[in-house]
Homo-oligomer: A and B are copies of this chain.
Amino acid sequence: MKMKKVAIVGASGYSGEVLVQLLLNHPHAELVAVTSRQYAGQTLAQVFPKFASHPKSKALRFSGPDAEALARQADVVFLALPHGVAAEYAVPLLGAGCGVIDLSADFRLRSADLYREFYAHDHPAPALLEKAVYGLPEHYRAEIKKSLLIASPGCYPTSILLPVIPLLKAGLIQPAGIIADSLSGVSGAGRKAELDYLFCECNESVRPYGVPKHRHLSEIEEQLSFAAGTKVTIQFTPHLIPVNRGILTTLYLAPAEPFRDAAGAAGLAEKISACYQSAYASEPFVRLLEGKSLPDTKNVVGTNVCEIAWRLDPRTGRLIVMSAEDNLIKGASGQAVQSLNLLCGFPETAGLI
């Protein structure tokens, strides 16, 4: 299989670091450039000592971000930048025929109005919003294969969308009243020198934040609305917990029908099980837990897998669904590589197992 040349813009954050790791070890991709304003001129080994022993890392040196130069070097460019600046690179790269996989939120919304509501300014390249594909392979596989601009979903959205979309599409839950309670490791905040994320401020601490209106609600709700065929508004509470990596989301859902049918058979449970089996049984990166197992971030950290388990509560009539993922892999860089594989016609699991 022909190797593709790939580059990363903004490779010095936590997502960028994991992306470097995945691409250094990818069987069909050659990492030809990494950029960082802050570290331009330094080698990969200097910035990330952990990669120093990798044979492919010797020649790689951080450069300043230059879209033209990148377009000459790479077939596909990953943008691992803070929100708000991806358009600046995406426009010229796409113009030069490169594939672009953006890890920021900049192209994740279809609606420019929604973007303005949540981000408080106009989108810098609204025309691209229509072209971009939401890079959730389990639900947009065909579109990803055909697009050159992939808006790779973030960590919270992935942990919520994977468990909820199939249920909404199947009409098994009510679109109203969805609650998502999420617990995220500290790497989700990025590599930022702020007091709030110091070791002593996070260790032995658990805290909610951004209550009640978090920016990522916009993409979650837009995607759920597509799945439900009606406008969906959800309750979302993120919490910061003292682990490096991992997101655990607990979802509180209202079934659209009674637990038991008229004859007393456990119809709903069977339908939910069949729904998830149908959606994910053959997906390499979704693991449906069986028996008494519940998700645990330690079983997914370091992998591109999202674990899902569910319980019907006969006391309350609710469906509880729980998911776990590595926020930097399935919630960021692994998912982006999964899109790369689709985009380039590689096996979808290449470099990810």
Contact = CB atoms under 8 A, between A and B. Distances in A.
A348 interface: no
Interface in A57-105: none
Interface stretch (A140-148, A235-243, A265-273): A235-243
Contacts of A261: none
A39 to B, nearest CB: 12
A199 B241 contact: no
A170 B303 CA distance: 43
A207 interface: yes
Given A199-B199, A235-B320, A320-B237, A207 B294 contact: yes
A263 interface: no
Complex copy number for this chain: 4
A195 B25 CA distance: 27
Nearest to A315: B233
A313 B322 CA distance: 23
A-B residue pairs, 7 tightest by C-beta? A212-B313, A205-B298, A199-B202, A207-B296, A50-B299, A186-B199, A181-B181
Contact of A186 (B185, B200, B285, B305): B200
A201 B320 contact: no
Contacts of A234: 316
A133 B58 CA distance: 34
Contacts of A245: 204
Nearest to A221: B315
Interface string A295-306: 111111111010
Interface of A: 14, 25, 49-50, 52-55, 177, 179, 181, 183, 185-187, 191-195, 197-209, 211-213, 233-235, 237, 239, 241-246, 248, 250, 252, 284-285, 287, 289, 293-303, 305, 307, 311-313, 315-316, 318, 320, 322, 324, 353
Contact of A244 (B25, B199, B208, B294): B199
A295 B206 CA distance: 8
Nearest to A293: B49
24 contacts: A49-B293, A50-B303, A52-B287, A53-B284, A55-B353, A183-B183, A187-B200, A191-B195, A192-B198, A193-B195, A197-B198, A198-B199, A204-B297, A204-B301, A205-B246, A206-B248, A206-B297, A206-B324, A207-B294, A207-B298, A213-B315, A233-B316, A234-B316, A252-B252
